[in-house]
Structure 1
C-alpha cells in the first residue's frame, strides 16, 4: 500500500544525500590540513569581515561540535565550531566567511533570507503535523487527510527550496569578501570553492528528497481522487 514507483527515485536521492554528507566532511577534513597563506584564523577572518561591513556589534562565539557553525539572526551572533574558530586552514576561513555572508544578508535585508525567516515558525508547525496527517490518511484511506498532509508538507518543501539561494549567495559573498579584503590568494580559491561547494550540495540533496516525496504524495492523492 505504501510502495510507489517514486520510491525508487527517493531512494536514489537519499543515497545522494548520504554521499553529500560524506563529501562535505571529507572535503572539510582535507582542506583543514591546508594552512592559509595569510596565517589568519577563522575567528580573525570573521571578525575582520564583520567590522569592515558595519557589523562590529555582532559577537563571535565558539560552539562545540563538528560543522556546527551558524549565524543566529534572532540573537545577532555568529557561532563557529572550535575547528573553524581557532583553525588557520582553508576550511576554517571558508566556513567562517560563509557565516559572515549570512550576517551581511541579514543586514542588507536579502529577500530570500527574509522570506526564510518569516517562514520558519510556520515550517516548525507544518513539519510536526504533516507526517501524522499523511500516515493517518494512508491508514484510513482518507483522501482529505492526505490532502491536508500535502499542504502542510508543501510548506516544509518550500522552506528548503528558499534555503538554496540563501546558501549559494552566502558562499558567493564569502569568496568575494575574502578576495576583496586580501584574505585569499589566487591559488587558494580552488580549495575555498570545493569546501563551500560540498557544503551547498547537502542542501541541494535535502531539497531534492523532499521535492520527490511531495510529488509522490501528490500523485497518490490524484490517483485516489480519480478512483
Structure 2
C-alpha cells in the first residue's frame, strides 16, 4: 500500500473537482443514452426485422447455435449471460423493429461472438465478476464504517475501501474494450447481413455510441473514487 500511495500526489481540492466533473459527466451520459434511444426507437427499420431475428441472424452467421434468446421485462435490461449462454432482450428490443432495437440486439449478439471466439478481454471480465460482486457488496459497509469510525480516519477501513474501488476500477476498465468491440461487431454484422441499409447505420451507431458513454462514466467514477480514498490515506500517513 505504501508503494501505491507514493504515486498519489493529487491535492484533495483537485480530487473534489474531479468527483464533481465525473458526476456531471455521468448525468450527461445517462441523458445522452436516453435521448439517443428514445429517438431511434421511434424509427422503424425498412426491413421490419425484429431484434430477436437480428440477433439470430448475427449469431447464425457466426456459427453460434447453442445460445438461447429470451425476452424479459424492464427498460434496457438487455444483456448476454455467458455462464448460461443466454441472450436476454427487453420486450421493446425483442419484438421491436426500430433502429435502436436492432442495434441493441446485435450488440448483445456481438458479446456472444466474443464468447465463441474466446475474446481475451471478455474472458478477463468474466474472471473478474466474482471478486467484483464481492467488492460491490462490501463497499456499502465500508462507507458506513467510514461514517461511524471517524470519517475514514480508520486506516483499516480506508484500505478495504481502496481495495474494493481498485477491483471495480479494473473491472470497468476491462469492460470498455469489451463493449466497444461488441458495438463494432454489431455495426459490421448489421450492414454485412443487409439488416439495415446504409442510411440507417447512423441511427444504430448513435444508439450504441451513447450507450458506450455510460461505461466510460462508470470507469471514471470508480477511478476518481479510488483516487479520493488514496489521497485520504496518504494524508493520514
Aligned-pair CA distance for 1:17: 0.9
Partner of 2:23: 14
Question: Bigger CA drift: 124-133 or 98-107?
Answer: 124-133
Q: Secondary structure at the match of 1:183?
A: coil
Task: Identify the match of residue 146 of structure 1 among 158, 168, 176.
Answer: 158
Cα deviation, 1:73-110, whole Å, max 9, x if unaligned, reads 11111111111111111101000000000001111111
Q: Secondary structure at the match of 2:195?
A: coil
CA spacing shift, 1:112–1:98, aligned 2, 3 Å: same
The 5 Å alignment of 1:89-104 reads: 89-104=98-113
Q: Secondary structure at the match of 1:71?
A: strand
Contact 1:160 1:207 in 2 (8 A): yes
Distance 1:75 1:213 in 2: 33
| Mapped pair 1:26 → 2:35 | yes
Distance 1:122 1:187 in 2: 43
Count of paired positions: 222
Cα deviation, 1:184-213, whole Å, max 9, x if unaligned, reads 211111111100000000110111111111
Query: Where does structure 2 lack aligned partners over 5 or more consecutive residues?
Result: 1-11
Distance 2:48 2:36 in 1: 20
Following superposition, which runs of at least 4 residues in structure 1 exceed 4 angstroms of deviation?
Answer: none
Query: Where does structure 1 lack aligned partners over 5 or more consecutive residues?
Result: none
Question: Bigger CA drift: 163-172 or 180-189?
Answer: 180-189
Q: Which has the higher contact order (CA 8 A, sep 6+)?
A: 2
Instruction: Give the TM-score of the pair, scaled to structure 2.
Output: 0.89
Distance 2:40 2:139 in 1: 40
Partner of 1:199: 211
Aligned-pair CA distance for 1:47: 0.9
Contact 2:135 2:165 in 1 (8 A): yes
| Mapped pair 1:81 → 2:90 | yes
Q: State the Cα RMSD in Å.
A: 1.5
Instruction: Give the TM-score of the pair, scaled to structure 1.
Output: 0.92
The 5 Å alignment of 1:60-209 reads: 60-133=69-142, 135-136=144-145, 139-140=149-150, 141-209=153-221
Partner of 2:222: 210
